[in-house]
Amino acid sequence: MIIDKYNIRAEKINSLLCVGLDPDLEKLPEKFKALKHPQFEFNKYIIEETHEYVSAYKPNMGSYEVRGKDGWEDLAMTMEYLREKHPDIFTICDAKRGDIGYTNELYAKAIFDILGFDAVTLHPYLGKEALKPFLDRKDKVSIILCRTSNLGAGELQDLKIDGKQLWQIVAEKISKEWNINHNCMLVVGATYPEELGEIRKIVGELTLLVPGIGTQGGSVKEVMNKGMNVNKMGLIMSSSKAIIFSPNPKEEARKLRDEIRQHSLV
């Protein structure tokens, strides 16, 4: 199963760390800005500094799309580089896509087949039927938004349906109805540890992608305590800017890997 790709890597190097490759051009060191492929060259540098601690890389599409076709090219080159040099590291396209079925077929082709990602993040609003082109891909992972990390996440996600909040319904649907090909994960923000704990109870052993540690302020300890599954796994702990824009990405990645590891030994 495709989900094993992440688990095998995570067990092998004993790390649940995911690094977000979000190389916003304005924030890059000057020496990279001057290059022909600034985002690719920066990513290559980050990957070489951090890969020994990393089980997943997660580029966010927004960082590349803002550069138009040049950004797409740098992203495609990054993916090619990862497949060649580090084929055992799990790759997540943080694109938050979600359209009707016909268009989702095109997005699935673009992200899984052209760019070659293992996984993509998706919106649940159009329902399972619309997401079929992603969910049918047994060789790829659909990571569906459940409880997001932003401050105003609750505006819709906390609405109550027969005593259950919308994010609870979404978690139930994904784990019981949408995951028939054993290829679903959920996005749950580190900034809402209580909800994270509830979602863990609903979804059993399913893996949760957890953004929001680092600059967004989520606590590693709380996330680990509430979010791990029975195998002390089931989490992809994602940090982006706090690592890639630090003066020493390697040291920052190692520190976070260690902090995560420490709480998985409880």
Contact pattern for a copy of itself over residues 97 through 136, marking x by CB under 8 A: xxxxx-xx-xx-xx---xx-------xxxxxxxx------
User: Alpha-carbon distance 8 to 10, whole Å?
Assistant: 6
Closest approach, Cβ 253 to a copy of itself, in A, equals: 21
What's the rounded Cα separation, in Å, for the pair 189 and 209? Answer: 8
Look up tokens 């040291």; give the residue: 251
Residue 176 contacts a copy of itself per CB under 8 A: no
Size of the site for a copy of itself (CB under 8 A): 55
Binding mask 195-234 for a copy of itself (x = CB under 8 A): ----------------------------------------
The Cα-based distances of 42 to 37, 85, 91, 108, 196 in angstroms read 9, 16, 17, 26, 33
| Closest CB 206 distance from a copy of itself, rounded Å | 19
Residues 188 and 230: their CA atoms lie apart, in Å, by 18
Which one of the spans 90-98, 135-143, 222-230, 231-239 is the region binding a copy of itself (CB under 8 A)?
90-98
Compute the least distance from the CB of residue 148 to a copy of itself, in Å.
5
Contacts of a copy of itself in 26-55 (CB under 8 A): none
Residues 149-168 that bind a copy of itself (CB under 8 A): 149-157, 159-162, 166
Tell me which H or E stretch contains 174: none
Closest separation between CB of residue 264 and a copy of itself, Å? Answer: 26
Distances (CA, A) of 82 to 6, 174, 202: 14, 29, 34
Closest CA to 143 of 157, 123, 166, 158: 123
> Would you count residue 66 as binding a copy of itself (CB under 8 A)?
yes
Which residues, other chains included, contact 67 with Cβ-Cβ below 8 Å and sequence gap of 6+? 25, 39, 74
How many whole angstroms separate alpha carbon 46 and alpha carbon 21? 8
Distance (Å, whole) CA 216 – CA 212: 5
Residue 221 known to be catalytic: no
Considering 27, 33, 44, 96, which one is annotated as catalytic? 96
Looking at the annotation, which residues are catalytic? Answer: 96
**Residues in contact with a copy of itself by the rule CB under 8 A:** 24, 60, 62-63, 65-70, 72-73, 76, 94, 96-101, 103-104, 106-107, 109-110, 114-115, 123-130, 145, 148-157, 159-162, 166, 169-170, 173
